[in-house]
Amino acid sequence: MKYNTAQVAKLQPDYLGFIFYDNSSRNFKGIIPDISKEIKKVGVFVDNGNILDMAQKILNYKLDMVQLHGSESPKYCQALKIMDIGVGDNHLYKSHKFQIIKVFSIKDEFDFSQLQPYEEYVDYFLFDTKGKLPGGNGYTFNWDVLKDYPLTKPYFLSGGIGLGELQKIKEFIKHPTSKYCYAIDVNSKFEIEPGLKSINELEKFIYELQH
């Protein structure tokens, strides 16, 4: 697996994601290079039943955020939220602050009431496109659904966002619907191959989005 994390980091994104999911073609098993402390490292997990294994990865990679991309329950998020993570003589707990992002997938409609039980335990929601895979499906969902977003919890917009969606994103950002949109998440549309990003395309995307 090839990664060009250091090159992507030079573009100064706010976040960099690292996928820790064995069934993903982007599963990360490398060493994260030294990057700016201004860039938050996000670990992506899918239904990892071993919460201590996740805790160890959070520590080993010094993750700032955990993105839960499966069917994790509110109780699971609560357990993760209250956990003090660390390494001791006979335990795995000490202070290490991190934030939690809970992912929900959307197609043409969505029942936002299912978010309420999670609201207390997560820092952000992330909305992506419902597909065969948990992420990386390469196409967008109907963003009009977000007009009915009933909460004030900030969210990430994801799902098949690439250069072709630039104008659509600019229009979305100007619309009241985007009031609680905190960040734009991109991935597969900028890949040369799984895990390897096109620096030129990312650079163009960032420039065009800012101008």
Strand 99-106: give its sheet, edge to edge.
Answer: 15-19, 40-45, 65-68, 99-106, 124-129, 155-157, 181-184
Q: Which CATH number fits the domain that encloses residue 174?
A: 3.20.20.70
pLDDT for 147 equals 94
Percent share of the chain, pLDDT over 90 = 73
- The pTM assigned to this predicted structure is 0.92
pLDDT in tens, 54-73: 888 998 899 999 999 999 99
Range of the domain at 131: 5-210
Percent share of the chain, pLDDT over 70 = 91
> 151 is written with which tokens?
């909460």
Look at phi and psi of residue 195 and say left if phi exceeds 0, alpha if psi is from -120 to 50, else beta. Answer: left
How does DSSP classify residue 27? B
pLDDT at 36 over 90: yes
Mean pLDDT of 133-141: 69
Tally of residues, the chain: 211
pLDDT for 38 equals 96
Total domain count, the chain: 1
